[in-house]
Structure 1
Amino acid sequence: MKVLIVGKGGREHALAWKFAQSDLVEQVFVAPGNEGISLEKKCILVNAITIEQIFNFAKDEKIDLTFVGSEDYLANGIVDKFQEANLTIIGPEKKSARLESSKIFSKQFMKRNNIQTANFEIYENSNEAINYAKTINYPVVIKADGLASGKGVFICNHFNEACDAVKSLMEESKFLEAGKKIVIEDYLNGFEASLFLVLDGNNYKILTYSKDHKKLLNGDKGPNTGGLGAITPHPDINERMKKLINEKIIIPTVEGLRKEDLFYKGILYIGLLIENGEPYVLEYNVRLGDPEAQSILYLLKSDLVDLCKGIIETKIINSEIEWHNGYSLCLVLCSKGYPLSYKKGEKITFQSNINSKIFFSGVKKEGMDLLTDGGRVLSIVNRSETLEKVREVIYEDAQKIDFESKYYRSDL
Structure 2
Amino acid sequence: MKVLVVGKGGREHAIAWKLSQSKDIEKVFVAPGNDGISIENKCECVRIESIEEIINFVKNNNVDITIVGSEEYLANGIVDKFEESNLKIIGPNQKAALLESSKIFAKSFMKRHNVQTASFNTFVNLKDALEYSRKASYPLVIKSDGLAAGKGVFICNSYEDSSRAINELMKEEKFGESGKKIVVEQFLKGFEASVFLLMDGQNYKFFNVSKDHKKLLESDQGPNTGGMGAITPHPDIDEKLMKVIFQKIVNPTINGLKEEGLLYKGFLYIGLIIEEETPRTGSRKNTPNGVKDEPYVLEYNVRLGDPEAQSILYLLKSDFIDIINDMEKERINTTNIEFYDGFSLCLVLSSIGYPFSYTKGERITIKPGITSKIFYSGVKKDGENLLTDGGRVLSIVNKADTLEEVRNIVYDEAEKIHFESKYYRKDI
Judge same fold: TM > 0.5, yes or no: yes
Corresponding letter in the other structure for 1:401: I
- Mapped pair 1:81 → 2:81: yes
Structure-2 residue corresponding to 1:26: 26
Q: Which of 337, 349, 352 in structure 2 is aligned with 1:333?
A: 349
Corresponding letter in the other structure for 1:373: D
Deviations 1:179-227 (A, max 9, x none): 0000000000000000000001011000000000000000000000000
Cα offset, 1:108, TM superposition: 0.2
In structure 1, what is the Cα distance between the partners aligned to 2:132 and 2:328? 46
In structure 1, what is the Cα distance between the partners aligned to 2:60 and 2:94? 24
Deviations 1:294-346 (A, max 9, x none): 00000000001110111011001110000011000000000000000000000
Cα offset, 1:355, TM superposition: 1.2
Deviations 1:240-280 (A, max 9, x none): 10000010001100000000110000000000000021100
Structure-2 residue corresponding to 1:205: 205
- Mapped pair 1:365 → 2:342: no
In structure 2, what is the Cα distance between the partners aligned to 1:242 and 1:285? 19
> Counterparts of 1:237-256 in structure 2 under 5 Å?
237-256=237-256
Corresponding letter in the other structure for 1:12: E
In structure 2, what is the Cα distance between the partners aligned to 1:246 and 1:186? 22
Corresponding letter in the other structure for 1:288: L
In structure 2, what is the Cα distance between the partners aligned to 1:393 and 1:405? 22
Gaps of 5+ in 1: none
In structure 1, what is the Cα distance between the partners aligned to 2:175 and 2:77? 21
- Mapped pair 1:388 → 2:401: no
In structure 2, what is the Cα distance between the partners aligned to 1:21 and 1:171? 48
Corresponding letter in the other structure for 2:346: C
Aligned-partner SS, 2:386? strand
Structure-1 residue corresponding to 2:281: none
Question: After TM superposition, what 4+ stretches of structure 1 lie above 4 angstroms from structure 2?
Answer: none
Corresponding letter in the other structure for 1:216: L
In structure 2, what is the Cα distance between the partners aligned to 1:391 and 1:87? 42
Corresponding letter in the other structure for 1:355: T
> Counterparts of 1:38-53 in structure 2 under 5 Å?
38-53=38-53
- Mapped pair 1:278 → 2:294: yes
Structure-2 residue corresponding to 1:2: 2
Gaps of 5+ in 2: 277-292
Deviations 1:130-149 (A, max 9, x none): 00001111000000000000
TM-score (norm 2): 0.96
Aligned-partner SS, 1:134? helix
Structure-2 residue corresponding to 1:346: 362
Structure-1 residue corresponding to 2:146: 146
Structure-2 residue corresponding to 1:317: 333
Corresponding letter in the other structure for 2:362: E
In structure 2, what is the Cα distance between the partners aligned to 1:89 and 1:61? 15
Cα offset, 1:85, TM superposition: 1.1
In structure 2, what is the Cα distance between the partners aligned to 1:51 and 1:224? 29
In structure 1, what is the Cα distance between the partners aligned to 2:8 and 2:170? 29
> Counterparts of 1:271-310 in structure 2 under 5 Å?
271-276=271-276, 277-310=293-326
In structure 2, what is the Cα distance between the partners aligned to 1:28 and 1:203? 27
Cα offset, 1:353, TM superposition: 1.3
Corresponding letter in the other structure for 2:376: F
TM-score (norm 1): 1.00
Superposed CA RMSD in Å reads 0.4
In structure 1, what is the Cα distance between the partners aligned to 2:6 and 2:260? 27
Structure-2 residue corresponding to 1:356: 372
Aligned-partner SS, 1:95? coil
Structure-2 residue corresponding to 1:125: 125
In structure 2, what is the Cα distance between the partners aligned to 1:410 and 1:353? 22
Structure-1 residue corresponding to 2:56: 56
> Counterparts of 1:146-185 in structure 2 under 5 Å?
146-185=146-185
Cα offset, 1:23, TM superposition: 0.2
- Mapped pair 1:12 → 2:12: yes
- Mapped pair 1:65 → 2:65: yes
Aligned-partner SS, 1:53? helix
Sequence identity, in percent? Answer: 63
Corresponding letter in the other structure for 2:100: E
Aligned-partner SS, 1:29? strand
In structure 1, what is the Cα distance between the partners aligned to 2:100 and 2:383? 39
In structure 1, what is the Cα distance between the partners aligned to 2:85 and 2:159? 51
In structure 2, what is the Cα distance between the partners aligned to 1:65 and 1:158? 49
